[in-house]
Amino acid sequence: MAASSPGWLRRLFRDKKLGAIGLVIVLVFLFCGVFADWLAPFGMNQISPVNRLKPPSAQFWFGTDHLGRDMFSRVLYGARLSVIIGLSAASIATFISVTLGIVSGYFGGKVDMLVQRVVDAWMSFPELIILIAVVSVIGPGMPQIIGVLGLTFGIGGSRIIRGAVISVRENMYIHATQSMGAGTLRVLLRHILPNIMPPVLVLFSTRVGGVILVESGLSFLGLGVPPPAPTWGGMLSGAGRTYMYMAPWLALAPGLCLTAVVYGINVFGDALRDLLDPRMRGSR
Amino acid sequence: MPHDPPLLSVEGLKVHFPVHAGVIRRRQVGAVKAVDGVSFTVRPGETLGLVGESGCGKSTTGLAVLRMQAASAGRIVFDGTDITHSSRAALRPFRRRMQMIYQDPFGALDPRMTVADIIAEPMIVHNIGTSRAERRDRAQDLLAMVGLRPDMATRYVHEFSGGQRQRIGIARALSMQPDLLICDEPVSALDVSIQAQIVNLFESLQDRFGLAYLFIAHDLAVVRHMSDRIAVMYLGKIVEIAGRDALYARPLHPYSQALLASIAIPDPELEASRPQISVTGEVPGALNPPSGCRFHPRCPRAAAVCAREEPVLRDLGEQAVACHLV
């Protein structure tokens, strides 16, 4: 497949400038998250009572919060948590969606019936209930959040993939592959999967933003990554909301970072979708 | 040649699609008899044309022969082996020897694969050719064989016209060196000028490789050009099967006569003076086919016996026909 060759990366930077910018944004935030220990001028929880609620300045680039913690440092550390949660939960979700969607859509009949009723049952639970149940059993923490959000988003998204699989399955090239004696795995991986990549990529890129936002809501309820760990969602919904009028930078710093990452993932996903489609070759 | 053992022999093939009703207790209330007792043979290197109106079951017959559609009854014997109920694994060597050419050249090729990958896929599935380079070389040879340039191998399907795509589909089928090609309306989606090219390609490939064709079509001129023998289908049954020249010179079944009489003659004066045989009404549904001879409600010559008794296909030497009145 074309995706395995570095050719798509070259074409990304040549033909899809916006998508390339998206990729760079995501990589910059990943870099910041991974190397936050070296990049951050202050510790993430280092408080300084004399410097409370200071506006952005040369010393505190993004200002300080109500405990005098440096917002720039916290946003850098937040990138680690939020981007990791976003990317990994969205990856798990996409994997689950694709697996369930392909199995349900391709095999159809009784398998489809069974899988879809399980999906119905799962989706009729509010995800909050499931998360509260999990957190109360094993306690709050990042792996639980990633797992539950990945599972919940994944099962919900499988409907979209199933629909795409059903429409791809009807193509005669699938029939042709079956009639030449190819195994089911080959049909699924070489023909179905590449042809459902557009909705898969859209699903993934929208899920990243969705997961980060849901995580922020969970943090607000005390079900997310527990404070004082700096997640963007936690910063937005905690001090960001409380001091919105006195110190708008508390909400703006994590909010703008969140916007930038979600935007970056979305434009990169769109560009990747176009690049992987042979019909879009040469278009901009 | 007529005494060669048949490559493909279909005996009493039936394909019925059950119709269910009821919400709580599903019960079968009937069956669409798409193919209802069809028998024919295809000899090595021969072309059997299968003609009929849309919905008469000719495509379903082709799918059943390929085992892509389960047969409800009857036998499919390929080169002496009964494959009607063969397992998937037992079927594999036969899948290599029977290939299908599709009607729609736009849908039959995966848009996400290069032409080289499309043609090489059957070789990978059947372990023909060991290395990537070997398969690529062979894909290029096959492209040349079907009249495309070998350097087109790296392109994607959307860059080709309908006729070119049909050639790619043929190259893919040939990559397995099959004995039988099942061509389901292979030229009806193409422009007339392109149709002639593809028909010529089919003929030259047959001469070169000794391929047998089951040529499913509704275009009687194309079928006449291609076929050695022709089977005429109506509502899931073969009503007449005969050598091409015999059928076109002297069709015996009233349906065959009406079908052949519908061919327009390119000369307007001859066209105006040719005898008209009109068949009235619509094709009845295959869910509740008429009693007796299925053609009797529309047949201009129907007699009382036609509504009562179902005619069997009788061998009259060169031709076999299912009609009480012949």
Please enumerate, as own/partner, the contacts of B136-143 that have beta carbons within 8 Å and a separation of 24 or more.
B138/B175, B139/B115, B139/B171, B139/B175, B140/B116, B142/B171, B142/B174, B142/B175, B143/B115, B143/B119, B143/B168, B143/B171
Residue A193 at interface with chain B, using a CB cutoff of 8 Å? no
Tokens of residue A283, six digits: 């278009």
CA pair distance B149, B143, nearest whole angstrom: 6
Q: Please answer yes or no on whether A195 and B111 come within 8 Å at the CB atom.
A: yes
Looking at beta carbons, which residues of chain B come within 8 Å of A183? 125
Q: Please answer yes or no on whether B125 and A182 come within 8 Å at the CB atom.
A: yes
CA pair distance B163, B148, nearest whole angstrom: 11
Q: What value, to the nearest 5°, has the Cα angle with vertex B59 and ends B57 and B62?
A: 110
Residue A164 at interface with chain B, using a CB cutoff of 8 Å? no
* Reported confidence tier of residue A40, pLDDT bands at 50, 70, 90: confident
Looking at beta carbons, which residues of chain B come within 8 Å of A179? 66, 68, 95, 99-100
Range scoring the smallest mean pLDDT among A30-44, A215-229, B24-38 = A215-229
| Nearest neighbour of A278 by CB, restricted to B91, B102, B111 | B111
- C-alpha gyration radius of chain B: 21
CB proximity list for B293: less than 8 A, separation 6 or greater = B299, B302, B306, B307, B309, B310, B311, B322, B323, B324
- Enter the pTM of the model: 0.83
- A109 vs chain B: nearest CA distance in angstroms? 15
Determine whether B267 is exposed, middle or buried from the number of CB atoms within 10 Å of its CB (0-12, 13-18, 19+).
exposed
- CA A129, distance to chain mean position in Å, is 21
Residues in chain B with pLDDT values less than 50: 1
**Which of A8, A169, A178, A179 to probe by mutation at the B interface, max B CB count within 10 Å?**
A179
| CATH dotted code for A13-280 | 1.10.3720.10
CA pair distance B262, B309, nearest whole angstrom: 28
- Which chain A residues in 1-40 lie under 8 Å from chain B, judged by CB atoms? 1
| Nearest neighbour of A176 by CB, restricted to B92, B108, B126 | B108
- What's the complex ipTM? 0.84
| Nearest neighbour of B104 by CB, restricted to A172, A181, A278 | A172
Looking at beta carbons, which residues of chain A come within 8 Å of B91? 181
Closest to B13 measured CA to CA, from B78, B82, B83, B73: B73
- Which chain B residues in 47-106 lie under 8 Å from chain A, judged by CB atoms? 66, 68, 91-92, 95-96, 99-100, 102, 104
Q: For the packed helices A71-107 and A142-169, what is the interaxial angle rounded to 10 degrees?
A: 40
Tokens of residue B179, six digits: 């004995």
Looking at beta carbons, which residues of chain A come within 8 Å of B68? 175, 178-179
Q: Please answer yes or no on whether B91 and A181 come within 8 Å at the CB atom.
A: yes
Q: Is the peptide bond before A228 cis (omega within 30 degrees of 0)?
A: yes
B323 Rama class: left (phi>0) / alpha (psi -120 to 50) / beta: beta
Q: What is the pLDDT of residue A77?
A: 87
- Indicate if the pLDDT at residue A283 is higher than 50: no
| Nearest neighbour of B110 by CB, restricted to A191, A197, A277 | A191
- Closest A-chain CA to B99: A180
- Closest A-chain CA to B65: A179
Q: What is the pLDDT of residue A281?
A: 63
Q: How confident is the model over A66-101, as pLDDT tens digits?
A: 777 888 888 888 888 888 888 899 999 999 999 999
Q: Give the mean model confidence (pLDDT) for residues A203-210.
A: 86
- Indicate if the pLDDT at residue A112 is higher than 90: yes
- Closest A-chain CA to B90: A181
Domain B8-227 = CATH 3.20.20.70: no
Q: Give the mean model confidence (pLDDT) for residues A197-201.
A: 90
Q: What is the pLDDT of residue B286?
A: 76
Q: What is the pLDDT of residue A3?
A: 46
Residue in the block written with tokens 């995580």: A215
| Nearest neighbour of B92 by CB, restricted to A172, A181, A278 | A181
- B122 vs chain A: nearest CA distance in angstroms? 6
CA distances from B217 to A67, A207, B50 (A): 81, 49, 6
Q: What is the pLDDT of residue B100?
A: 92
Q: Please answer yes or no on whether A180 and B112 come within 8 Å at the CB atom.
A: no
CB neighbourhood size of B318 (10 A): 12
Looking at beta carbons, which residues of chain A come within 8 Å of B104? 172
Q: Is B33 helix (H, G, I), strand (E, B) or coil?
A: strand
Residue in the block written with tokens 């859509």: A105
Q: What is the pLDDT of residue A2?
A: 44
| A·B CB contacts under 8 A | 69
Q: Which regions of chain B does DSSP assign to beta strands (E)?
A: 8-21, 27-42, 47-51, 73-78, 81-82, 98-101, 180-184, 212-217, 229-234, 237-243, 314-316, 319-321
Q: Is B156 helix (H, G, I), strand (E, B) or coil?
A: strand
CB proximity list for A242: less than 8 A, separation 6 or greater = A66
CB neighbourhood size of B177 (10 A): 14
Q: What is the pLDDT of residue A6?
A: 64
Domain positions in chain B: 8-227, 256-326
- Residues B21 and B27: beta-carbon distance below 8 Å: yes
pLDDT over 70 for what percent of chain A?
A: 95
- Residues A233 and A220: beta-carbon distance below 8 Å: yes
Strand partners, B51: B217, B232
- A180 vs chain B: nearest CA distance in angstroms? 5
Computed over every residue of chain A, the mean pLDDT equals 84
| Three-class HEC string of B82-144 | ECCCCCHHHHHHHHHHEEEECCCCCCCCCCCCEHHHHHHHHHHHCCCCCCHHHHHHHHHHHHH
- A199 vs chain B: nearest CA distance in angstroms? 15
